[in-house]
Amino acid sequence: MSVTDTALIRGVSPSDFKGSGELEKARRRSDRRITLALVLPGILGLAVCFVFPLLFMARMSFNVGEPNGVVHETVTLETYVRALADPYYWKVTVDTFWMGLVTALLCVIVSYPIALFLARTESKWKGILVALAIAPLLTSAVVRTFGWMVILGNQGLINNTLIDLGFIQTPLVLSNNMTGVIIGLVEIFMPYAILTMMSGFGQISTQLEEAAGSLGASKAKVFTRVTLPLSLPGVLTGFLLVFVLSISTFVTPRLLGGGVVQVLATEIYDQATGLLNWPFAAALSMILLVLFGTVIAAYTAIIKKMGFSS
């Protein structure tokens, strides 16, 4: 379509312009206005729902909180010094990172074969199988966490089964500790990992695997030398998503941890609602945000180093 046709369609008379160059500039200005009009609602929503609260939280972290809940507006690093100088909060931060790392790793390992199967299958039941894989998302994470509390308890399904089969004599401690929290988180975040990896696996050409097989490569070698390397972008994206969700989750560590497992999310909740120390809670939130940024920067560097576009 020519520039003149575009101008006529948009109700602009070509006679209003001195030449095709001005028509082209007018078309670009019109495109920019349309683009701005389309993205403006999203930008405003992002600013109201994310940027302003984030700036408020950052400003709050430089205030000082009194034991009675009163907040003194000032500019000091006292909250950060307290968080960074206390070994307890270092342990909480390390436990948070460790929980996210192990949960994301186990989640990717368990979800990988399911996602690969769902991405490759040509069964007429594929839609139903995909729906079943993400069906847990229809249930609240709170409900599922309560379900895991029943299953992992001393008188729960797992311990009773193992005792009845004679494998153990006393119940395993699977709840009120980090093990129970990680088991619950892996199950809760599996649908996210499956969906993320499925979208990445769908871009892998099966012709490369067929070519490797036709050249004499075994199925194991085709998987390790072709399928797995090509699927790494989807795997890393799924890992990142689960990691970010894990280190910021509150319900599962609170319920399955039984008050014994303390991570940054539970500590922030306690400081904000229990002790009413909003500045310190904001400082811990900013530390959690830095942890987010560090992992995302590492993810971006790994993707770039491996030569993947995304």
Instruction: Give the pLDDT score at 120.
Output: 86
What's the mean per-residue pLDDT of the chain? 87
What's the count of helices (H) and strands (E) in the chain, helices before strands? 15, 2
| pLDDT of 160 higher than 70 | yes
Residue 2's pLDDT band (boundaries 50, 70, 90)? low
Model pLDDT, residue 155: 87
CA atoms of 26 and 190, how far apart (whole Å): 50
Asked whether residue 12 carries a pLDDT value surpassing 80, the answer given is no
- pLDDT tens for 250-288 read 999 999 888 888 999 999 999 998 888 999 999 999 998
Task: Tell me which of 13 and 242 has the higher pLDDT.
Answer: 242
144 burial via Cβ count (<10 Å: 0-12, 13-18, 19+): middle
pLDDT score for 186: 95
Q: Measured in Å, how far apart are the chain's first and last C-alpha atoms?
A: 33
**Residue 282 backbone phi and psi in degrees, to 5:** -65, -40
pLDDT computed for residue 80 by the predictor: 92
Of the listed ranges 16-20, 38-42, 238-242, 286-290, the one predicted with least confidence: 16-20
pLDDT, mean of residues 63-74? 86
Model pLDDT, residue 202: 78
- The pLDDT assigned to 9 comes to 52
pLDDT of residue 7: 52
What pLDDT, on the 0 to 100 scale, is given for residue 303?
Answer: 79
pLDDT at position 8 is 53
As a whole number, mean pLDDT of residues 63-90 equals: 89
Query: pTM score, two decimals?
Result: 0.80
State how far the Cα of 16 lies from the Cα of 23, in Å rounded to an integer: 9
Whether the predicted pLDDT of 189 surpasses 70 = yes
| Interacting residues of 184 by C-beta distance below 8 A, sequence separation 6+ | 144, 145, 148, 152, 252, 256
Q: Cα 135 to chain center, whole Å?
A: 18
CA distance linking residue 145 with residue 143, whole number of Å: 5
Across-strand partners of 121?
none
> For the residues 197-210, what does the mean pLDDT come to?
83
| Predicted pLDDT at 54 | 92
For residue range 113-147, list pLDDT tens digits in order. 999 999 888 888 888 998 998 888 888 889 999 99
**Average pLDDT, stretch 179-207?**
89
